[in-house]
Structure formats: C-alpha cells, structure tokens
C-alpha cells in the first residue's frame, strides 16, 4: 500500500465513523448511544446463545489462523456462560458481553462485542479479547 492509498483508506474509515456516529439520535423511538445493562443475564437464553456464538466464532478464527501458521498448541475455548451484558442501539443492536470460557483446565474471561442488524438477520462479532482485570 502506498502512502496516499493509506491516507485515503484512513479518510474513508473516519468518514464511516463520523457518518455512523451522527445518525439521528433516535431510531424507532429508542435512544441511540447509551448502553443499557441487561438484567438476569444468566437466565436469559438469547444472551447465553449469543455468548456461545461469540466463542464459536472465535474458535473458528483460531482454526483459520492455525491453518496458516501450522501451530498445534492452540487454545480452543469452551463456552461456560455470559456473566454480564449490555446493549446499545447503533445501526442495529450492539451487544457488549462478558463471557466466561474454559480452556486447558482454566477459566478465562473475555469481552466480546457483537452487532446484530435485524433487517439482515446478520450477526457480526467485532471484538473479542481477554477481559482485563487491571483496567476494569
């Protein structure tokens, strides 16, 4: 990539960010922007299913990565449960999930962000990383 194409793609990214963050403050009568915590997460079947989906997607990307890197000590995750969840109305609904997983005899907590665009019925895992106790 040349320097100018990098600049252009950065500008496009910034444009997309500005465009999405300046969507009308209300969509379908619900407030845009704020995060809403979900109560009774542990008994919420839909949220638990979404959490499992995030872990499956993560496993999936690990498999692809393994295919390229030829590593054999990869840590696939087993889903345990979603511990906490918040939603946010963006262009669709964004879910912030704190997920408990199990791998190599250890419990590991991850933060996941998932966007569901209901009109496309499409789920997209946009973030998955170890939960950082030091920061939170």
Ligand X SMILES: *[C@@H]1O[C@H](CO)[C@@H](O)[C@H](O)[C@H]1NC(C)=O
Binding site for ligand X (CB under 6 A): 52, 55-56, 59, 76-79
Minimum distance between the CB of residue 78 and ligand X, rounded to whole angstroms? 5
Structure token pair of residue 88:
């946010």
Report yes or no: 75 and 104 within 8 Å, Cβ to Cβ: yes
End-to-end CA distance of the chain: 37
Minimum distance between the CB of residue 31 and ligand X, rounded to whole angstroms? 33
Contacts of 31 (CB under 8 A, 6+ apart): 25, 89
Q: Which residue has the tokens 């990307």?
A: 61
76 backbone dihedrals φ, ψ, rounded to 5°: -65, 145
99 backbone dihedrals φ, ψ, rounded to 5°: -115, 135
Kindly tell me which of 56 and 124 has the beta carbon lying closer to ligand X: 56
Kindly tell me which of 79 and 110 has the beta carbon lying closer to ligand X: 79
Kindly tell me which of 85 and 89 has the beta carbon lying closer to ligand X: 85
Kindly tell me which of 24 and 105 has the beta carbon lying closer to ligand X: 105
Minimum distance between the CB of residue 40 and ligand X, rounded to whole angstroms? 22
Minimum distance between the CB of residue 64 and ligand X, rounded to whole angstroms? 13
Half-sphere exposure for 126 (CA within 13 Å, toward CB):
12
Minimum distance between the CB of residue 65 and ligand X, rounded to whole angstroms? 13
């Amino acid at each position: 990539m040349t320097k100018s194409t990098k600049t252009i793609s950065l500008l496009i990214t910034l444009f997309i960010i500005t465009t999405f963050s300046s969507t009308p403050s209300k969509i379908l009568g619900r407030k845009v922007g704020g995060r809403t915590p979900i109560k009774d997460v542990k008994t919420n079947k839909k949220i638990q299913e979404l959490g499992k989906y995030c872990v499956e997607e993560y496993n999936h990307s690990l498999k692809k990565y393994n295919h390229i890197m030829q590593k054999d000590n990869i840590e696939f995750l087993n889903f345990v449960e979603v511990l906490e969840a918040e939603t946010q109305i963006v262009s669709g609904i964004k879910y912030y999930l704190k997920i408990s997983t199990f791998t190599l005899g250890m419990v590991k907590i991850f933060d996941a962000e998932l966007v569901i665009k209901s009109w496309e019925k499409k789920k997209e895992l946009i973030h998955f990383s170890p939960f950082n106790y030091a920061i939170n």
